[in-house]
Structure 1
């Protein structure tokens, strides 16, 4: 078993890789809805080609999958009661941070305030999980 500090470092990396790539994946899939053919099979393969020939999609996708591999290996030596909440909640935090950095705007001021408050609660909860394992 990893020490809680090492586990947290790996899970932090998972959160960064998953959350940091989500806004890029969202942005890079914007044109896929324009691909339409009479045949569903032709549409499917055209969409697959669109994704794998689009570096703006492919690079974040590969990084996101690296996060999944890191998560898989981290789960082997980390308690599930720590791994799941930390990785998933940090994913939300980093998705919001990177989304804001890319220019995504909250719906209104109440939404923005609620998001900040929610992230504070997430970080507080992660701290409690981490302190429980020390």
Structure 2
């Protein structure tokens, strides 16, 4: 098992990118489902059966289900990556990349975005990821 080398970091960044992209895509799919549901609403049947029907209807929307399945696959890859990376590095790097890529992909999908705060936040995230990666490297005294 590796000790959090470059390969482990690459896996974490890849998982974060997939999570970010699928978060934005699932939001689009959920909005589509909400729109369809609002057009079909005849009566509210709440309770366990009504909730199960709504979940089934959501899972039948491929624009939600495919990104959801890809997101779950990335979760499995994350747990595999945890086997070869320290959790103190894996969690912050993956979550930071997820945050930044969710903002990026949401903007690419046409969601209204305030560019300046997104760029500032993404820059701070990148700085934080760099600090996490740099602090995990063994430092040799000069």
* SS of alignment partner, residue 24 of structure 1: helix
Counterparts of 2:55 and 2:111, CA distance in 1: 26
Q: Which residue pairs with 1:11 in the alignment? A: 12
Superposed, 1:36-75 pairs within 5 Å as 37-75=44-82
Q: Which residue pairs with 1:116 in the alignment? A: 119
CA RMSD in angstroms comes to 1.6
Counterparts of 2:102 and 2:23, CA distance in 1: 6
Runs of 5+ consecutive residues of structure 2 not aligned to the other structure: 138-142
**Larger Rg, first or second structure (1 or 2):** 2
* SS of alignment partner, residue 77 of structure 1: coil
Counterparts of 1:48 and 1:126, CA distance in 2: 36
TM-score, normalization by structure 1: 0.88
Runs of 5+ consecutive residues of structure 1 not aligned to the other structure: none
Report if the CA contact (8 A) 1:4-1:133 is conserved: no
